[in-house]
Amino acid sequence: MHNNSPNKWLRPVLLIAAAVIILIIVLAIQSPGKSPEVAFFPVQLDEFAEEAYPSSLATGILTLDDGYLRLEYQWTDDSDLLIWPPGHSVYIQDDTVYVLNKDGNEVARVGDEIKAGGGQVPVIIVEKYTGQTLPEDCPGPYWLVSIVVTDE
């Protein structure tokens, strides 16, 4: 009787294949996808909280685009970088990006349809109201936010 039967080689090959599959699964569990990251979150300084704001209302989807939170207008390719009211902050949990107001309450999250009161302003106003120079890769237009309303 010969010991060169196909079963002699099949078992080690199947064991190696099973080990490789288990290793791939373990690595996938330990290396989840990249979490969202907000590169720059412009917030107005407290000293401008009582200033007059533009009085327009924009409706769109809050999106994260290359690390910037923008208001994306439906049925167009247009969007505005949002300049948040004083005290607002960003919070990321479980791959969801939240915007919180000065009291720590959720105002919106990426993917929400929101209404933002305020209006478009030039970069010089953005830098005045935030006290910061905008990053070079931070394109406008810019929306100075007075209030955010969600449809919830």
pLDDT at 31 over 50: no
pLDDT at 121: 95
Q: Which pLDDT does position 77 carry in this prediction?
A: 87
- CA 22/CA 90 separation, integer angstroms: 37
Terminus-to-terminus CA distance in the chain, angstroms? 76
**Residue 18 reports pLDDT greater than 70:** no
Residue 21's DSSP bridge partners are none
Residue 5's pLDDT is 59
CB 124 within 8 A of CB 64: no
Nearest alpha-carbon partner for 84 in 93, 71, 72: 71
Neighbours of 148 (CB within 10 A): 21
Domain ranges in the chain are 46-150
pLDDT at 49: 76
pLDDT value of position 126: 95
pLDDT in tens, 103-152: 999 999 999 999 999 999 999 999 999 999 999 999 899 999 999 987 65
Rg (CA), the chain: 25
Q: How many CA atoms lie within 13 A of 83 on its CB side?
A: 31
- CATH number for the domain whose boundaries are 46-150: 2.40.50
CA distance 9 to 134: 64
Residue 48: which pLDDT band, with cuts at 50, 70 and 90?
Answer: confident
Position 37 confidence tier, pLDDT thresholds 50, 70, 90: confident
Q: What are phi and psi of 61, to 5 degrees?
A: -105, 130
β-strands 79-83, 142-150: how paired?
parallel
Q: What's the whole-model pTM score?
A: 0.74
Residues 6+ apart with CB under 8 A from 145: 82, 83, 84, 85, 116, 117, 118
